Structures are given as C-alpha cells and as structure tokens.
Amino acid sequence: MKKALIHDWYTQYRGGERCVESFTNIWSDFDHYTLVNTLNDEECKKIFKGSSAKTSFIEKLPFGKKKYRLYLPFFPLAVEQFDLRDYELVLSSSSCVAKGVLTRQDQLHITYMHSPVRYAWDLYHQYLEESGFKKGIKGLIAKYFLHRLRVWDVVTANRPDYYIANSKYVAGRIKKIYNKEAQVIYPPVDTSAFEISEETSDYYVTCSSMVPYKKIDLIVEAFTKIKAKLIVIGDGPDYKKIKKLCSDNIKLKGYLDTKEKSEILKKAKAFVFAAEEDFGIAPLEAQACGVPVIAFAKGGVLETIKGIFVSEGRVTDNTGVFYNKQTIESLLEAIQFFEENERYFNKGLIRKHAETFSRERFEEEIKETVQRLYSQWKRESNS
C-alpha cells in the first residue's frame, strides 16, 4: 500500500526526527511531507532513506527556513494544503499541526504524538510572558492567533483514527485536551551509541536545546552559586542569554554530535535536568552512559528515571535524584544530596535501566502496533 509520513518540520536532528528515522527503518517506502526542511544531506539520507520531503509554502516565505516560527498562524493552512488522497496509510509525527492533515474515510491516519501544541496550551501564559506579549497590540495579536490555533487544534482532534503517545504524561494531556485515548510507546534511545566509562571526572553536565521552558538558565544560575564545574551542551535562541549568566566554572559547548556528546556524558558525575519535559531523551542518553540524573520531578522523567527524593533516605537501585520545585534552592538541595550519596549509584544498573528504552524496542513496538491497528481498521471498514 502507499504510505505517507508527515512531520511538523525538520530543522534539527533531535528526538522527533529520531522517531521518524525509526519509522523509515521499519518501512523505507514512505512519501514524506513537512512544513520546512533545513537538515543537511547526511541527516536527510539517514531519515528519508534516499527519498526527500515535500515542503509547504512556509518555506518559500521571506526568512521561512530560518524564522519559520514567525509564521505559526499559517501552519494550520499550510498543513491542510498537502494532497494525500493517494495514500492508504498516513502516519503523522506531531508536536504542532501534523496531526491536522486532511484524510478521507477510506484512509487510515495514525498519529504518533510528541505533545499537543505546547505554546497554545500548557505553556501559553509562560510563552506570552517570556516573549513580551502579555500586553500591548503585539500581545493582543499573539493571543488572538494562539486562541485560533487552540480552536483549530480541538476541531482537528478527530482527524487521526488512532493516537499513540510518547509517554503516559502526554497520553494524559491528549485525554485532557482532545478527550482521546492513546496507547503509549516510548521514543527510541540509541543506547548503542553510548557506553560506560571507568573514569568519572569532577564535572556535571546538562544537554538541551536552549529555549525558555528547558530552564537552562536555572541550572546555570544554581551552579554559579556553588562553583561546581558544569558543562552545557546545546544551542538555540537563548544561547546568548545563557552565556551572559555563566561564571568561570561553567563551559558552554554548543551543539555536539552524538560521538562528541557521548565522550563528555560518560565521564560526568551526574546529568542535571530542570525542564518539565514530555519525555526527555537526553536524561536517558546520560543513563545509557551509567551516569545518574538529577531531575525536576514532573513530566516524562517520572517514567524514565528510577529516582529517589531527597527526603526518602538512602539510594538503593536508583538511577537518579528528584527535586520537587523548579527553583535554584530545590536544585541545590538535590545536588547536595547527590554529593553525599554519589558512591551508592551503580553505573551498570543505570545502564541496564536505559537499555529498556532502546531503538530496537521502539521499532518492534511500533511495527506490531501499526500492523494491529491496520488490521483492526480494515475489519471495521468492511463490517
């Protein structure tokens, strides 16, 4: 059968793109659609398996490739322009508008959802505040378009026939916003690309795209107070802002490929995480190196880290430490607890836990689920 795969945009090789890469590892004959594609040739080859992606009119607008987010109000219109009439199976990989593609009754649409549109829903007020859109004419315009996006997002909730969520946390948000049930299949972590090191250095590490909700600024400010060594991996819109906050004990590495990142991760004392994340692949990459994680106890990390809270006592078979509040004080308390209990964390056990989220596991579960849902849909269509 003819198959189409639509992903919101390809601008960096991150968690969503790794999911698409796994989809094409299973089925290499997808036709690909996306709003914008700026990946390099090597990344395209890895993801599309020799094919290419058809892009939307967003890419052709002024600065459409680099500043595509400015055209957010046009995303719903753009995604609805893709003509998918020739496909029996449509698989959408969605964290924004991909789930809203138009399909007919005789087409099966399965969406793998990384998150409902975060800036329109749970990050709405935070986004307005951090973007300076709480007041004024620009604020009114932003609020109006985000309202329209929420309305469109709910109206299109019935377009997918089946939902698959990347975590129980996201499945809960799908139920809350769309009133839809979602099966949970955790994203792929390339555990084979990471390894344990016998050597442990005296630095901590964090890795993330530098956008406000990742809270890299909180981590950096905490480490300026205690003077412990911190390595920050990643780039993004907040890079310059983060750089200004750094003291001499903090090093910014920018974007690193998997091999470079692995070399730093595997020798770290611990990985520090402050975001309320839908799933969070970076903490699992750290655990694949046998490195414990110090994480804010909300979101997907509650499903991916066997964490101990500061008040719970001694570490046994845990893979990390949780802190309750997204504050500098709470993070520093967790770091102190980790320092006092570092010797109890077992690299082998941490690595073994991470392996349960491997790419092989993801591809097996996705293949079985899509085949089962297709058979179920055919039966129901013919009844």
The domain segmentation of the chain, as residue ranges, is: 3-188+358-382, 191-357
Tell me phi and psi for residue 214, to 5 degrees: -75, -20
Which of the four CATH numbers 3.40.640, 1.20.140, 3.40.1710, 3.40.50 does domain 3-188+358-382 have? Answer: 3.40.50
Task: Catalogue the E-assigned strands of the chain.
Answer: 3-7, 30-34, 53-55, 89-94, 108-113, 162-165, 182-184, 203-207, 229-233, 250-254, 271-273, 293-296, 307-309, 320-323
* pLDDT tens per residue across span 172-208: 999 999 999 999 999 999 999 999 999 999 999 999 9
Residuewise pLDDT in 10s, the chain (383 residues): 899 999 999 998 888 999 999 999 999 999 999 999 999 999 999 999 989 999 999 999 999 998 898 899 999 999 999 999 999 999 999 999 999 999 999 999 999 999 998 888 887 777 777 667 778 888 888 889 899 999 999 999 999 999 999 999 999 999 999 999 999 999 999 999 999 999 999 999 999 988 888 999 999 999 999 989 999 999 888 899 999 999 999 999 998 988 999 999 999 999 999 999 889 899 999 999 999 999 999 999 999 999 999 877 777 889 999 999 999 999 999 999 999 999 999 999 999 999 999 999 999 999 999 999 999 999 988 87
Query: What is the CATH number that goes with domain 191-357?
Result: 3.40.50.2000
Q: Do domains 3-188+358-382 and 191-357 have the same CATH topology?
A: yes
Contact (CB, 8 A) for 183 and 167: no
Helix axis angle for 281-288 and 258-265, nearest 10°, is 60
Q: By C-alpha distance, which of 125, 101, 100 is closest to 178?
A: 100
* pLDDT tens per residue across span 286-337: 999 999 999 999 999 999 999 999 877 777 889 999 999 999 999 999 999 9
CB atoms < 10 A from the CB of 13, how many? 20
Bridge partners (DSSP) listed for residue 33: 6, 54
**Residue type at 301 in one-letter notation:** V
**Residue type at 351 in one-letter notation:** R
Cα 83 from Cα 100, distance rounded (Å): 13
Q: What is the pTM of this model?
A: 0.89
